[in-house]
Chain A
């Protein structure tokens, strides 16, 4: 049995369907756990992909409690693999689950095979080396987004309601602030518009948002842009930020340091706009415009407005 811990914002995240897809491709029974608040519609949706365990009415919950609960469900279902996304949720909780269960923990997996036991592929050294790990026994794995094909809907697998374990958490969650989700999630978006140091200021960076909104895109940034305070650090694309692979990626005013390339080079089509013809970003781009972004991007915005 493989247990998938589902993730959702306003709606179900693709990474959960990708995790179910991977689990099915391994020829294993799959069940999904949903923990959160107001889960009825989500549980209904999930039940057409796999058997669902629903733990509803949960908010402001600390990692100790969630992890203890997931461990209980793993034991109850006799799971030998647990899949989560390589998201902040996954990064926070998956290592604890693995330690609590005394299982292996494998992060940011890009392939999982059953070959005389479990063989896990993952990139290391900023993607410069690909390694395979042989896992002895059971494992908790976080999966890289947009690598595994999404599961397809089939019949209804049914639902079961669960409650949280009775432990007194040491951690108090005082506040949860979700930024208003008017743009798609960076790791899930089909189009991403990223800006770099070339924007020169936080005010100028607004052009990125305008372009993104016309394209229905998410906004990202280089480390240089977030370090300079043009945008908050959580939008950073790169080794210390998010690793993404949208269908279309705009790198605007981004020189393309290795640490940024790691986060976006698997994108489908890459468009770069930079006035420095020697910027390394061009070497991994499909289309390049060597020009002043402040001249080119406003024209692109006008063109897209015309089409609306």
Chain B
């Protein structure tokens, strides 16, 4: 899971074409959406969901409240992905 965090930061920057953001600028515990974090929007949420599913072959199919929790921060996303992958 620890390698996942820098990998996810880079995936976010590349897949969302974020300018002026370096991996170190992203606080793994900070919210990805809304104010106080990266400030990503609803299209970013959709594109990030698509990119994560493609890269890690995970299936996002819990109910919607859980989906939103997985995408809360880089940390929660890493936790979700590692829980879905075979050990």
| Same complex origin of A and B | no
Binding site for B on A (CB under 8 A): none
